[in-house]
A and B are shown apart, each in its own frame.
Chain A
Amino acid sequence: MGDILQVKGLETQFRTRNGTIHAVNGVSFAIREGETLGIVGESGCGKTVSMMSLLGLIPTPPGKVVAGEALFEGVDLLKLNNDQMRKYRGSKISVVFQDPMTSFNPVLTIGRQTAEPFMIHNNCSKAEAYERAIKYLELVGIPNAKDRIHEYPHQFSGGMRQRVMIAMGLICEPKILIADEPTTALDVTIQAQIVELVKRLRDELGMAIIWITHDLGIIAGLADRVNVMYGGYIIETAPVKSLYANPQHPYTIGLLGSLPRMDELSYRRLTSIDGLPPTLLEKPTYCPFEPRCPHAVARCRSENPTLVNREGDEHYVACWVDPKTGKEYK
């Protein structure tokens, strides 16, 4: 199947009093129809900013998308003005935000908020939109949806609110659903409910999903392909199994090593990654992970590596050093 979204050389910066923050520094990736793409990284690595840039949701000023293109159905999303963008945002590409507590308007009913995107994008009557809202709320497993559309967000629990968010994101049958850490604020048993729900909906409705998270555990059971981000770059991208079985970048290896595993019988000291993530006040001219990297060589300090296919099978990594030998690639 073909790519439905192609992002090339995306760069986003924020002007602050202390200087320019280089949040995203040239990110390129593509997503295919019906594919689930995981984007993994720690706070401040640019995973959310890169997605919000695509949808024109970066507050300007201070933020600005300074370079790149994002082709969706032949249109460059980054060149659209706000009115044009509205045709896409919420209908063909929609977002589920992290915090189900603050993403709702507390003074509007659940039904009104769920129906709103459909009403705006399809120019239909209120009755029609509400009917559709009920259908989608039932689809995401809200019991008794017909009565509950008259309730307000505070009458719903966290897990239920996240279900409503998903219904709201799906009501216009988007081609791409961007899920920005949708389960981070939820408990594990509720998180498992939401993940199962999204998997079921993906199989039923066939949309592509971009799932942003810092949790390597969730992504393992959900994604087809994973982008690992660090310092505003994609440093490794691979099919999910290849990434976990054969991580290539020292940062990915470090992240996997710092997770305790429940199937380990004997005690293992966690491998921690020393040091701190970069501040991004300057655009790195060399590898952003170099200061924390156990394998760093001279070249890492002078040249920024680009994504290169080292493992075959669509497994790309941006690193000068072969992690198996600890020596520079020839």
Chain B
Amino acid sequence: MAEREVLLHVENLVKHFPIKKGVIFQRSVGAVHAVDDVSFDIFRGETLGLVGESGCGKSTTGRTILQLHRPTSGKIIFEGENLAELKGEKLRRKRRDIQMIFQDPYASLNPRMTVGKIIAEPMEIHKTFSGAAKERRVQELLSLVGLNPAFVNRYPHEFSGGQRQRIGVARALALEPKLIVCDEPISALDVSIQAQVVNLLEDLQKELNLTYLFIAHDLSMVRHISDRIAVMYLGIIVELADRNMLYQNPIHPYSQALLSAVPFPDPFIEETRERIILEGDVPSPINPPSGCRFRTRCRYAEDICAAERPALSEVAPGHFCACHFRDRFARK
């Protein structure tokens, strides 16, 4: 494969949310370790999937990339510029190139604005289009996402969940971004509607040469849409690989358990499938375990796992894993 161009480079990203106590004089008494030292690249034109269970930090990672949360430390380099250091007008300009599609299509659209206004708002803020050209662009965007352009004067409540998510997509596309962070864009939708939205996202990617960071907890959908996938657990990336590599040969014990927990829509396979059932719950991110974050639920944990944090390193070309025993699992 030819050298691919890195669009976004995330290096040692850390995001801690302080926990405050006291009424007037607030002092920090601890921190939620939402994202703890995460590094990855996104190449131009690809879809990187980010999966993990609730509270693993996948949404925080997405939001920190857009600077909706400022990172505690680390670099987010987008086309040569470190977004973490940008401020004010410069940051605002850069945001044109990175847009977001939110999870809940009911909460992410202002109920008092018409669809036309919602989609036009980013263009007004960034002054890319105005007057008749803006109106034309709104109509164009509506038909691009498969909605009737005559709907511009309607309000969000007149649309179903799937249609609202299309409005959210049109708004994200309004500024012709290069990267779109999709934060669980389909998890609030019904199964038959999910497929419609996923197909739309795929078509738009081909047509407009978009790059996606696709955040989701539905592993089978992530596998379907992504080129490469990163698995997160309690604020760190435990495994990162090409989608087929990851699903056929998961190396990290957490990835193995996560994949085996996904039910198959096939009773013949389900009958003979063996599940790895993880014991207990995810530990609190306020006080995460020392060393390997997964060791408290891991079947293979040994003394070294508590003492030392495993680094995310390459096992096979393009296949990264953060586990002390990665070579043992890789051979199997």
Known A-B contacts A188-B217, A260-B223; A221 and B263 likewise in contact (beta carbons under 8 Å): yes
Please determine whether A270 and B195 come into contact, CB atoms closer than 8 angstroms: yes
Q: Which residues of A contact B271 (CB under 8 A)?
A: 221
Query: B320 → chain A, closest Cβ, in Å?
Result: 21
Question: With A221-B273, A240-B267 known to touch, is A262 a contact of B281 (CB < 8 Å)?
Answer: no
Residue of chain A at shortest CB distance from B200: A272
Chain A: number of interface residues, binned into ranges: 35 or more
Question: In whole angstroms, what is the CA distance A221 to B281 when docked?
Answer: 23
Chain B binding surface SS class? helix
Residue of A nearest to B203 (CB): A269
What mask results when residues 164 to 206 of chain A are scored 1 for a CB within 8 Å of chain B, else 0? Answer: 0000000000000000000000011111110110000000000
Query: Does B259 lie within 8 Å of A262, measured CB to CB?
Result: yes
Are A215 and B281 within 8 A (Cβ)? no
Asked if B192 CB lies within 8 Å of chain A CBs, one says yes
Least CB distance, A227 to chain B, in whole angstroms? 15
B196 and A261 form a contact (CB under 8 A):
no
Of the 9-residue stretches A2-10, A26-34, A145-153, A250-258, which lies at the interface with chain B? A250-258
Does B152 make an interface contact (CB < 8 A)? no
Residues on B with C-beta less than 8 A from A220 are 263-267, 269-270
A160 at the interface (CB under 8 A from B): yes
Residue pair B267, A221 in contact (C-beta under 8 Å): yes
Contact in complex: A276, B160 (CB < 8 Å):
yes
Is the CB of B306 closer than 8 A to any CB of chain A?
no
Q: In the complex, A256 Cα to B191 Cα: how many Å?
A: 9
User: A143's closest neighbor in chain B, by CB?
Assistant: B280
* B264→A261 contact, CB < 8 A: yes
**List of A residues within 8 angstroms of B262 by Cβ:** 188, 217, 262
Closest to A224 in B: B267
How distant is the Cα of A257 from the Cα of B281 in the complex, in angstroms? 33
Q: Indicate whether A189 sits within 8 Å of B257 (C-beta atoms), given known contacts A196-B275, A218-B263, A270-B198.
A: yes
- Chain A neighbourhood of B199, CB < 8 A: 269-270, 272
Given contacts A220-B267, A256-B265, A259-B265, contact A192 B277 (CB under 8 A): yes
A285 within 8 A of partner (CB)? no
Shortest distance from the beta carbon of A60 to any chain B beta carbon, whole Å = 27
Contacts of B198 in A (CB 8 A): 270
Closest to B196 in A: A272
- Chain A residues contacting B258 (CB-CB under 8 Å) are 188-189
- Using Cβ atoms and an 8 Å threshold, which residues of chain A touch B269? 220, 263
- Given the known A-B contacts A187-B54, A221-B273, A270-B224, are A262 and B264 also in contact in the complex, defined by CB atoms under 8 Å? yes
Q: A191-B261, A256-B265, A272-B199 are in contact. List 12 more A-B contacts (CB 8 A).
A: A42-B190, A157-B281, A160-B281, A188-B53, A218-B263, A220-B263, A221-B263, A244-B266, A259-B195, A260-B220, A270-B224, A272-B192
Chain A residues within CB distance 8 Å of chain B: 42-43, 157, 159-160, 187-193, 195-196, 214-218, 220-221, 240-241, 244-245, 254-263, 265, 269-274, 276-277
Show 19 A/B contacts (Cβ-Cβ < 8 Å), sorted by A.
A42-B192, A187-B53, A189-B257, A192-B263, A215-B263, A216-B191, A217-B263, A217-B264, A220-B264, A220-B265, A221-B267, A244-B265, A245-B268, A257-B195, A258-B191, A262-B259, A269-B202, A270-B199, A273-B196
